Structure 1
Amino acid sequence: MTRNFQTVPVVDIAGLRSTAAADRQAVADALGRAAREAGFLYVSGHGLDPVLIEDLLEAAQRYFAQPMPAKMASYIGGSTNHSGYVPEGEEVFPGGKIDKKEAYDIGLDWPAGDPRAPMLGPNLWPDDAGFRTAAGAYYSAISTLARRLFGGFALALGLPQDAFEAHLTCPPSQLRVIHYPFDPHAEPDQQGIGAHTDYEFFTLLHGTAPGLEVMNGEGRWIDCPPIPGAFVVNIGDMLEAWTNGEFVATSHRVRKVGEARYSLPFFATCDSWTVVAPHPAFVTPKRPARYPALVSGDHLMAQTIATFGYLQGRRGEAPTTPAFGQEAKV
């Protein structure tokens, strides 16, 4: 399969809520085609209340408009489980420039000190009850949608719909609230975020303006602008490994933006202790296992350390991480 797509496919997933197995399978088949051919897709018919998006964007605009000292009061470096404010320059993908963005990272609120899951714990919240309420409501709703998509991807792979359920007891899925400010004086090649793949199983994204681009099998960048009422979904590293490369974690970036842009990516993953290795259904003598077994939480932590300066300061040199996605293959 060449994966030389020229546009990003759209899949209506309303049928995943149907009681009829045939309806769910029809949606799953469409999800599977998009995941195999592009690794990126839009999903419509998802059923998420748009008011939840509007409320979170309003809270985000209010938060990011504050002076820097007020935002740094919730600096991610003060958290124990990677939550809080991420200023411009904190996050740099290996070999890349400093991204032109700021963010707020939110995880599953969980009791502190769980030795099984270092990326879980109580969130670090700003002194803004409205932000916490809006982010918490959105996190809950998008988590439910992600769980439904886990079932759809399972069916798309010829597995039982509940194949992932045992690995979704307390996943450290992360919501990022990202602000890409418009800077008319930025360098012509200034990027909003550098080329990368996502570390987890898949991502659900709402963006407010154009800027997102994805790489096809020819190494060309394809525009992925917002579609009203739809989320962007892309395959992550761990689903690529789980499927032995049948699904690909497509590389993507955000180019220099022509207006202020807000983005709400939700990085859906499995429990930290989940062992991710090519599923036997996708390993044959002609297609041997292409990926070593990895522990979900260990991979997530290693990739996060490789990207965030504050963690490298705590833990020393960034670890070496495996390469995933189209860009690595090109």
Structure 2
Amino acid sequence: MENKTEEEVSIIKVSSLTCIDLDNSDLHQSAVLLKQACLDSGFFYVINHGISEELKDEAFEHSKKFFALPLEEKMKVLRNEKYRGYAPFHDSLLDPENQVRGDYKEGFTIGFEGSKDGPHWDKPFHSPNIWPNPDVLPGWRETMEKYYQEALRVCKSIAKIMALALDLDVDYFNTPEMLGNPIADMVLFHYEGKSDPSKGIYACGAHSDFGMMSLLATDGVMGLQICKDKDVKPQKWEYTPSIKGAYIVNLGDLLERWSNGYFKSTLHRVLGNGQDRYSIPFFLKPSHDCIIECLPTCQSENNLPKYPAIKCSTYISQRYKAVHAHLKQT
């Protein structure tokens, strides 16, 4: 066996994560498990979520059909200024210190559409979606809209347990002001190529997600790695496998801010192994005007807020612009 560097040895490890049963009627029991998972790694699985395997398989099949289209057809739905639509390969640069160019992935973003007469219709992250030609991909939009609503439902169920884990009322997050009109994006991803960290080549560079939580479905092709402690050097990376019938959930930076650093967002990345890989993450963020400030149960006289209060849409806009600003500089 060849000699391996410390990082090469560490990434062979497979992570062991807590599994949360969303069908468990004892929410407080689930909250205890979830709280420990959030303190340990910020990643966990959820099972008995109510999303059928048939619907998930259909969403993946439709995703593959879109990415198999000629580039000129995909470019007809190129992502607009509201971050809806198709993003070509190398469009995002998540880890500029270690990546030589953007991620080796392409994507398609579908977002939340509120009422046309609602207060957020014309605001960033709430505009109408753009869709592939139904003559080219019949049934595509209908499947994605159905899957989107199911993913949103599951995230709101997790938010109830998350609230209890933070010693809040079970419906603390599920209010019109917080998750009533969420900035919630579902992204279809297609990864290609073989990653080589020694050369700065990644399917997806190391990052933590921007929002509250992320619900991830993958096609089973190994590639996702997590770093449970982002402050330890050298970083230790572990593969996180897919489990049939389960979703992977991870915390985002907004929840870390909201909890005053009590719960941590988790660094993760994707390494390609030469196989095509597909995933469908659902990124949940609060409503446009929701003010993110230290939660009441995370405050104490000696524990001053580590982060200033900020409006959700302002924070998300800043993070999105930073990702794409790096590309313009390279």
How does the TM-score come out when normalised to structure 2? 0.85
How far is the alpha carbon of 1:53 from its aligned partner?
A: 0.8
SS at match of 2:44: strand
Partners of 2:241 and 2:261 lie apart in 1 by 26
Alignment pair present for 1:62 and 2:65:
yes
Partners of 2:20 and 2:295 lie apart in 1 by 27
Partners of 1:158 and 1:280 lie apart in 2 by 9
Partners of 2:46 and 2:242 lie apart in 1 by 11
Inter-CA distance 117–12: structure 2 relative to 1 (3 Å threshold):
same
Contiguous gaps of at least 5 residues in structure 1: 318-330
| Paired letter, 1:253 | R
Which of 243, 261, 268 aligns to 2:277? It is 261
Residue of structure 2 equivalent to 1:120: 126
Residue of structure 2 equivalent to 1:322: none
Residue of structure 1 equivalent to 2:172: 163
Partners of 1:134 and 1:187 lie apart in 2 by 40
Which of 142, 153, 160 aligns to 2:151? It is 142
Which of 106, 111, 128 aligns to 1:107? It is 111
Partners of 2:14 and 2:163 lie apart in 1 by 26
Higher relative contact order (CA 8 A, sep 6+): 2
Alignment pair present for 1:181 and 2:192:
yes
Which has the larger displacement, 88-97 or 169-178?
88-97
Inter-CA distance 129–238: structure 2 relative to 1 (3 Å threshold):
same
How far is the alpha carbon of 1:117 from its aligned partner?
A: 3.3
Partners of 1:101 and 1:187 lie apart in 2 by 19
Cα deviation 1:41-60 (Å, max 9, x = unaligned): 11122221111111111111
Which of 205, 219, 222 aligns to 1:210? It is 222
Residue of structure 2 equivalent to 1:25: 28
Cα deviation 1:216-256 (Å, max 9, x = unaligned): 22431111111111111000011111111111000100012
Residue of structure 2 equivalent to 1:39: 42
How does the TM-score come out when normalised to structure 1? 0.85
Cα deviation 1:157-186 (Å, max 9, x = unaligned): 111100011211111200000001245999
Partners of 1:29 and 1:35 lie apart in 2 by 10
Q: How does 1:1-330 map to 2 (within 5 A)?
A: 7-16=15-24, 18=25, 23-76=26-79, 79-93=80-94, 95=96, 96=99, 97-110=101-114, 111=116, 114=120, 117-127=123-133, 128-166=137-175, 167-182=178-193, 189-208=200-219, 209-217=221-229, 218=232, 219-308=235-324
Inter-CA distance 312–258: structure 2 relative to 1 (3 Å threshold):
closer
SS at match of 1:269: strand
How many residues are matched?
Answer: 302
| Paired letter, 2:208 | T
How far is the alpha carbon of 1:12 from its aligned partner?
A: 2.9
Partners of 1:94 and 1:187 lie apart in 2 by 14
SS at match of 1:51: helix
SS at match of 1:256: coil
Contact 1:43–1:230 (8 Å) recurs in 2 = yes
Contiguous gaps of at least 5 residues in structure 2: 1-12
Inter-CA distance 201–124: structure 2 relative to 1 (3 Å threshold):
same
